Amino acid sequence: MIRYYARQNGKIREVSGIADAPWINLHPPYEDGELDSFSTQLGLTADYFTDPLDIEERARYERFDEARSIILHTPVINESAKENEAVYITIPLGIILTQGKLITVCSSEIPVLEKFIESRIRGFDPSNERLFILQIMEQNVLYFLELLKKLNIRRSLIEQELYHSSRSEELRSLLRIEKSLVYFVNSLNSNELLKIKMRRTDFLGVKDNEDYTELYEDIVIDNNQAREVAQLYTNILNGTMEAYASIISNNLNKFINRLTVVTVILMVPTLIASFFGMNVRMPMGFGESQISFYLILILSIGLSLGLAWFFKRKEIL
């Protein structure tokens, strides 16, 4: 789907044609041949629009005679129905500058761009390409930080549940959060390297503008902070998972130990009953005695209680 946007009366409005639209947003669902037709209309190769649709595409920038291209990673909610998948994943976001137009293309609808469409970004003007790109990068980093806070809160709540019960559902939820953090760390690393290279080559041409340069430096700092926070949460979660794995293993060992002790205690009366239950004559007429049953019962209970006391004293039971 191709949508055209322009700033009118202080707000972002959708317009009907490409001529009046400084910002063009491409997002699913895509019709057959839609991207090829659009690339032909602009006189660009289709790779500009298909590369960001590859979820494995790395963060990078390119400069050609006909256009400039930037690909960075942005977080989205994972819509996979599988229980073992990450809560959030990251996908490439393509930004193309050509013929006075800024084109964004992605394989999914992105919450970061929704803020611009809904005019929730102060001072946003799609005709100002440099500022628009900086604001996209800024909002992307802020969205990373927002999701990191949500994941950390979710992790804390799950840990509180694990204090009372070690159910597999909570452990699977922690695993999903851990996968999300791995996506975030890798994507933030890629985005940081991209921004450092763009700053070194002055790809956006902001070197001579003090306000833009300061904003760009703040974006790089915020991205580094988000990366460190994601790495910190990943380390904490790894330690938590290892700790709970050790606790579960220790509890299992205790359970097996107690079950073994109970088995040994119950084996004594079983052994005694087996001896006296043999179909042979007992010595000294013990088998004909009227109290033999009670003596065997008392002997079995006594030995079992003695074993239980011994194991308890040794802190085995």
Give the residues across from 106 on adjacent strands.
93
- Determine which of 41-45, 164-168, 177-181 has the lowest per-residue pLDDT on average: 164-168
Kindly state which CATH superfamily the domain 2-250 is placed in. CorA soluble domain-like (3.30.460.20)
% of the chain residues with pLDDT over 70 = 92
Confidence band of 252 (pLDDT split at 50, 70, 90) = confident
Cβ neighbors of 269 (< 8 A, separation 6 or more) are 300, 301, 303, 304
Q: What mean pLDDT do residues 136-157 have?
A: 94
Show me where the domains of the chain are located: 2-250, 257-313
Cβ neighbors of 200 (< 8 A, separation 6 or more) are none
Handedness of CA 18, 20, 22, 28 (dihedral sign): negative
- 81: pLDDT strictly greater than 60: no
- Mean of all residue pLDDT scores within the chain: 87
